[in-house]
Amino acid sequence: MTRYTELAERYGTPLYVYDLDRVAAARRDLLEALPEPFSLFSAVKANPHPEVLRVLAGGDGRVCRAEISSLGELAAALEAGFDAAGMLYTGPGKTGGELRDALAAGVRTFSVESASDLEHVGAAAVAQGARAQCLLRINSASASATTSIRMTGRPSQFGIDAETLGEVLPRLREVPGTSIAGAHFFPLSNASDEDSLVGEFRNTLAVAAELEREHGLPLRFVDIGGGFAAPYAVPGERPVYEKLRGRLEDALDATFPRWRLGEVHFACESGRYLVGDSGVLLTRVVNIKESRGRTFVILDAGINTFGGMSGLGRLLPVAVRPEGPEQAAQIADGTGLSASLVGPLCTPGDVLGRQVDLPDLRVGDVLTIPNAGAYGPTASLLMFLGRPAPAEVLVRGGEVVSATRIEHRRSEVAPLDGGAPRGGGPA
């Protein structure tokens, strides 16, 4: 019986297991891959478990800050020990209430997506007698990498189109309660290799320098985004970028030579790279059936458990990690199964992978989906069909340090006018 099988027997399935030592290793590797003055933002959305965030927050003197986009993420980051003053609040739909509460908690840096977004931030800051430092998120018209998930260069709710910056910048400079501190870029996700990643960073730095030169964009702080690769729900190893620091320093010297004097501060951000390889999802085979020549392996985990892009058909297929040489041989030589992995939900969309290579299986067997530490329960359809959330177990040094489950409950909601809830319908 493997360690994972033991945990599945002890806590049941579906079950996430997160190794905190691997979170710490990913944090260390990425910080060491970046030039020394860089800041690193950890995207809370990737895995908001408080123990995972506590490791990412560190406390070892190395700069790791929280990137948040909701009051829930703000609360989780504060609980984990992140400093509110160092956080970056992002997102295209910041409400007045969110901005008020974030400013009251001490958040002072915001990524803004448009002129009106900046005005909303400014109005909230003025109401509290504060001043918000704002990074203009730029939707660049150009790109470098072509084999990754593009996040820029097309119509989007994210960012100010670079070609319009010269026209809108005078208006942006005059928004009360704000100061334009710099720019925020996020051109791609999951770069295919280090050359693609470096090429995109170089392109981003060149665009930033051009916008500063042509339009006078203030650049005291520049977030050049992420794109760090990590396998997702398939076997594989997280890359270690051994040459990235030197190549980034060369690119900075070429575009922003004053960075070494501290006149411009740079940052990167990451979600999946920091937490992805720390987690595995354990799920049990509930049934195996044949339908018109195809095999379906029905699991107790579906898109309500692991919905994060796989349930939307964007990152199919997942793959399982063999737990021994016999299983590995069956997958390698094709003597196992080729089947669709589906969940228990009453919807045809509950598919985790199609034509997945599997070992020979029986009802009751436990499968291990590796590299599942990012975009797990909180990126899934947790409440669909009323099934309980998966348990989440955290280990350090091989020992269990936490075992919890997200619980949902319905609570009373007071009207915004402060009066008692009115009858005649659900609160």
Residue with tokens 């520049």: 222
Residue with tokens 């993420």: 73
Long-range contacts for 10-14 (Cβ within 8 Å, ≥24 apart)?
Answer: 11/391, 11/393, 11/403, 12/391, 13/282, 13/283, 13/284, 13/300, 13/301, 13/366, 13/390, 14/281, 14/282, 14/283, 14/284, 14/299, 14/300, 14/301, 14/305, 14/306, 14/390, 14/391
Give the number of C-alpha atoms closer than 13 A to the C-alpha of residue 413, restricted to the C-beta side. 7
Q: Residue 114 carries which DSSP code?
A: S
Helix axes 96-105, 71-80, angle to 10 degrees: 20
Of 64, 134, 268, 346, which one is the catalytic site residue? 346
- Rounded-to-integer distance, Cα 66 and Cα 321, Å: 32
61 CB-near residues (< 8 Å, 6+ apart): none
Tokens read off for 395 = 């280990």
Q: How many helices (H) and strands (E) does the chain have?
A: 11, 19
Give the number of C-alpha atoms closer than 13 A to the C-alpha of residue 170, restricted to the C-beta side. 2
Helix (H, G, I), strand (E, B) or coil at 85: helix
Helix (H, G, I), strand (E, B) or coil at 396: strand
- Asked if residue 300 lies in contact with residue 283, where contact means CB atoms within 8 angstroms, the answer is yes
Q: Which of 73, 64, 65, 66 is nearest to 94 (CA)?
A: 73
268 labelled catalytic? no
Q: CA-based Rg of the chain, rounded to a whole angstrom?
A: 23
Reduced 3-state DSSP string for 119-173: HHHHHHHHHCCCCEEEEEEEECCCCCCCCCEECCCCCCCCCEEHHHHHHHHHHHH
Give the residue numbers annotated as catalytic, written as ranges: 346
